[in-house]
Structure 1
Amino acid sequence: MAEREQPTGPGPEPDLRARIQARVAERRADRAAEQERAGTPAAQQPAADGSTGEPAAPASRSRPVTWVGRLTHTLAFLLAVTVTVVAMRSFVISSYYIPSASMEPTLHGCQSCQPDLVLVDKLSYRFSSVARADVVVFDRPPLAPPEAAELIKRVIGLPGETISGRGGKVFVGTKALAEPYVNPACGPIADFAAVKVPAGTYFMMGDNRCDSLDSRIFGAIPGSSIVGRAVAVSWPVKHLRWL
């Protein structure tokens, strides 16, 4: 009887091959058990060759930006800027042109020239009190001339004080005010009778005392009508300064 031909290839003996296959199956079973305990489906874990068993996802590609997308982004940006500007003008800061010469020489304004543009802080009086000598913008009181919706003057009298003018000076009670901001070209101020400033109101006067319709005419103004405090001159360039 002829002898069985022995395999000549490099592969392992049948019993060794069986042991390797059993070992691979055992490792796969161990991995499957670990994945099940971890709560991850076995099909999503890498196989022995490093694959996951799932088809590979196509590489993501950036979508081209269309003119519609650019227009949408531009409109959104402009809307955000508009909302910010409106909010700032309404609640934080605004600008006002000086309508007359009533605040000379501190602020310049006239009908035939380029008036000063002042920045007005609308927020500070929410956290602090109105102080004497502050330059403020306020809504036009009923007895003031109707040329402008807002006026700008300097705070002279505070609530509860008595203000008067005599001997060319302004007095708070019995004390004369030092007023370096007054226009010297006006000369001494005209006398006016003592006025008791009511609670919650303020006595306003222009720095150009001989050309200012102020609380001497229309009385003290309520604090609720104050728009804000003038903090700087922003235009023209040659007048730029803090107030």
Structure 2
Amino acid sequence: MATIVVLAVLSLRAWVVEPFIVRSDSMEPAIASGSIAFVYKPAAAGAIENGAVVAFTNPVDGHTAIKRVVAGEGQSVAIRDAELYVDDVLVAEAFVDHSRIDATYFGPVTVAAGSVFLLGDNRAVSIDSRDFGDIPVTSIEGIVITATK
């Protein structure tokens, strides 16, 4: 019986929900460093919407990281004086402290087919798609459904 329970738990973690320890402050204040994020893996196979926080394979170091999807394939992304614009429309981002990134400019860039553009909420310290470019949707491991400190 214990073997069945262990196998069930391991299967659940491998294919459904996996806990992930956040080791960066790039998503603060929404998700603090040291938090445990729960990643829903079946969501990786579906359409990922703008605004979703996702776990993905970081192309810089190969580790799992989390960031927010701000644009999908074919959309243009720009940051003008710390404000995010997707397809030239200002995106309201209550979770971003714009005063910490005042006078920041980026883009515009167009997201490649089969990819998403990811940004950290704490843009002053985040290493994200501004640095490593678009992320293929196939690199997304799942959607963060909750995080606790």
TM (norm. structure 2) is 0.93
Structure 1 residue aligned with 2:70: 156
In the superposition, relative to structure 1, how do residues 155 and 125 fare at CA in structure 2: closer, same or farther (>3 Å)? Answer: same
Gaps of 5+ in 2: none
Offset of 1:95 from its aligned partner?
0.5
Summarize deviations over 1:6-36 as a string: whole Å, max 9, x none.
xxxxxxxxxxxxxxxxxxxxxxxxxxxxxxx
Which whole-Å deviations, capped at 9, do the CAs of 1:99-137 have from their partners, x for residues lacking one?
A: 11100100111xxxxx100111001343x4100010000
Q: Are 2:56 and 1:138 aligned? A: yes
What are the residue-to-residue correspondences of 1:29-68 with 2, within 5 Å? Answer: none
Report the counterpart of residue 123 of structure 1 in structure 2. 42
Helix, strand or coil: the match of 1:224?
helix
1:179 aligns with 2:93: yes
CA distance in 1, matches of 2:126, 2:72: 19
Which residue of the partner structure matches residue 231 of structure 1?
145
Distance 1:81 1:201 in 2: 37
Q: Deviations over 1:199-231 (max 9, x none)?
A: 100000000010100000000100001000001
Aligned-partner residue type, residue 89 of structure 1 = R
Residue 93 (structure 1) aligned with residue 11 (structure 2) = no
1:78 aligned to 2:2? yes
Q: Tell me how far apart the structure 1 counterparts of residues 103 and 4 of structure 2 sit (CA, whole Å).
A: 50
Check 1:216–1:189 CA distance in 2 against 1; reply closer, same or farther (3 A cut). Answer: farther
Tell me: higher relative CO, structure 1 or 2? Use CA pairs within 8 A at least 6 residues apart.
2
Corresponding position of 1:220? 134
Match of 2:115 in 1: 201
Q: Establish whether residue 166 from structure 1 lines up as the match of residue 71 from structure 2.
A: no
Whichever structure has more strand as a proportion of its residues is: 2
Q: Residue 67 of structure 2: SS of its match in structure 1?
A: strand
Structure 1 runs (4+) greater than 4 angstroms displaced: none
What is the aligned length? 149
Contact kept? 2:44, 2:141, Cα under 8 Å: no
User: Is 2:82–2:98's contact at 8 Å kept on the other side of the alignment?
Assistant: no
TM norm structure 1: 0.58
Query: Matched residues in 2 for 1:227 and 1:149: separation?
Result: 11
Gaps of 5+ in 1: 1-76, 110-114, 237-243
Bigger share in helix: 1
